Amino acid sequence: MLNRDTFQKDPADYRIPNDGVAKIMFPPAPGSTTQTLKAELGTFITDGEFGRGLLKILESFRGGLPQGKQKAVWISGFYGSGKSHLAKMLCGLWTDRIFDDDGSRPSGLLPEPSTELIGELRALQSAGARAGGLHAAGGTLGGGSDDPKLATLGIVLQSVGLPLDYRAARVAFWLADEGILDAVRARLGNAFESAIRNFVLSTAFREAVMAEKPSLAANARDLSDRLKADFPQPPELTVADLSSTVRRALLLNRKELPLTVVVLDEVQQFLKNDPGRALDVQNIAERLADDFDGRLLLVCTGQQALNELDNLQKLLGRFQVRISLGEADMDAVIRKTVLRKSSAGSAKVQTMLDDRAGEISRHLRGTHVAHRAEDGADAVLDWPLLPSRRRVWERVLRALDKSGMAGALRTQMAVALESARLVGDKPLGHAVPTDFLYTRFADDAFAAGELPEETRSRITKLREGTPDERLQARILMLVYMLGLIQGDAEFHGIRPTTEVLADLLVEDLSAGGDVRAAVPKALTALEEAGAVMPLDGTW
């Protein structure tokens, strides 16, 4: 039996929605496909922290409605932990808008949602029906203005179909007051946003306005002069301006404020330890909580919990609902999606693991990530990833995250799927080697200056050589990777010794002795070539 035969769905055929990178733009851009959003909803596992976090957000919002004030939400988690995914699913489920192609609803696509979660979603729908409806606005900070106030406003403006530019949005509001916004938009079609952003110079914009309401000016030139005078370049946006403009945008084509969620993704990365930006976010959160009668909820995401960084601790009082996602939460999702086994496959994997228990239990002995008795409960779910190796990966991923090199990885789900594909065509009993992770981040590490060109070139050349040279390349990958986490070695105990390197390289669990016999010879060759050197028993 091959490894691929144990899965419920062959890893070679499995596709992660949007490659595992949850990019928040809500509502989706006009004309964009809804298939990605539907696929994400269909793989949103809600029986762990993701479901509990979503429930916590909805319960908090419902509790804040009678009080007329909401508590802002902070979702934290390292790269690939799923925080953006959770925030995006919140947007989709918040409005629960019917998909045009098949008539399905986001809430109906969730796999096995809890009774409590369905109850809260229904309560939200009922509350929206009594108010001005439901609205969701979501986007990533950093894609536009460097001013947090303008960036936040742009996300809200975009969600109601208005240009992100504040000055152009004011012109759009004027058109709405004149009763011709929709008509002008229809005349200009896809050119609307470009035309209104250049309203002073755009002939097409002036002609469309004059065609809909000739009484606004004697001619196109007079209209241009009027627009230039009435809508000069605005001064710096204040928090009060932000609040009033958000209210104006949400009331566009509505008589009453809708129950609204505003999601700002990657806020911590946007702040960049800038006290001024942090203060702006603090003031934004406070103002949005106070000015909308409890009908607007602000949700932000960041890599770390607010109490972990001095710069973020100032936000603690504003973001009182906090959700922290960790390895266990993403592990649960991975096990139920990309690594899910069939019933027959699970039995086969368990038998194999029992037969190879001796080899597995000796891996990384003496470290804090070594095989544990409790690993048995998840070993079948994790296969072909060994739990001890996953713990090594997690530490390397965290090190990459801190150094800013994890942008291309983004998600552990994608890494897990690619690793399953790597050994899919190999006989059951072949595990994913730890050095595989290097291939996922080497290019970014090199571009960031974190991987020396000499090391990278040497590894590349050896990988193209003989079997002995390919083993040397794999060893160099591991020595480099373990070097990234040596600052915390006293806590995890993982050091690049000959034995540890061999443990991490074993693929065929029935032939571990062959690898252990070959590694010392390969290290000797690398030492003679000046690629590695021994130091206190490590390489």
pLDDT over 50 at 408, yes or no: no
- 314/412 same-domain check: no
In a domain, 6, yes or no: no
How much is the pLDDT for 325? 83
Domains identified in the chain, total number: 3
Residue 266, pLDDT score: 86
pLDDT score, position 16: 76
- The answer to the question of residue 9 being in a domain is no
- Can you tell me the distance from the alpha carbon of 118 to that of 96, in angstroms, rounded to the nearest whole number? 12
Query: Which pairing describes strands 134-140 and 259-265: parallel, antiparallel, or unpaired?
Result: parallel
Question: CATH number for the domain including 81?
Answer: 3.40.50
d(CA 46, CA 189): 40
Could you tell me which of 235, 322, 315 has the C-alpha nearest to residue 271?
A: 315
Task: Tell me whether residue 263 is in a domain.
Answer: yes
Kindly report whether the peptide bond that precedes residue 111 is cis, defined as omega within 30 degrees of 0: no
298: β partners:
262
Of the two residues 164 and 503, the one the predictor is more confident about is: 503
477 is a domain residue: yes
Give the DSSP H or E segment for 299.
Answer: strand 296-302
DSSP string, 367-414: STTS--GGGHHHHHHHTTS-HHHHHHHHHHHHHHHHHT--TTT--HHH
Residue span of the structural domain in which 187 resides: 165-236
- Whether residue 78 lies inside any domain: the answer is yes
Question: 523 and 416 in one domain?
Answer: yes
The verdict on 280 and 377 lying in the same domain is: no
pLDDT band at 278 (very low <50, low <70, confident <90, very high): confident
Q: At what angle do helices 453-463 and 467-484 cross, to 10 degrees?
A: 150
C-alpha 201/C-alpha 459 separation (Å) is 57
SS3 state of residue 464: coil
What's the pLDDT tens digit per position in 6-35? 999 999 998 876 655 567 788 876 656 677
Residues 363 and 509 in one domain: yes
Predicted confidence band of residue 406 (pLDDT cuts 50, 70, 90):
very low
CB atoms within 10 A of CB 152: 29
Q: Considering the domain boundaries, does residue 537 fall inside one? A: no
In a domain, 83, yes or no: yes
Question: For the segment 243-277, what is each residue's pLDDT rounded down to a tens digit?
Answer: 999 999 999 988 899 999 999 998 888 887 788 88
pLDDT at 38 over 90: no
Q: Confidence band (pLDDT; 50, 70, 90) for 101?
A: confident
DSSP states of 178-245: TT-HHHHHHHHGGGHHHHHHTTTT-HHHHHHHHHH-GGG-SSHHHHHHHHHHHSPPP-PPPHHHHHHH
Do 316 and 390 share a structural domain?
A: no
Read off φ and ψ for residue 511, nearest 5 degrees.
Answer: -135, 35
Q: What is the mean pLDDT of the chain?
A: 88
**Based on the domain organization, do 523 and 442 belong to the same domain?**
yes
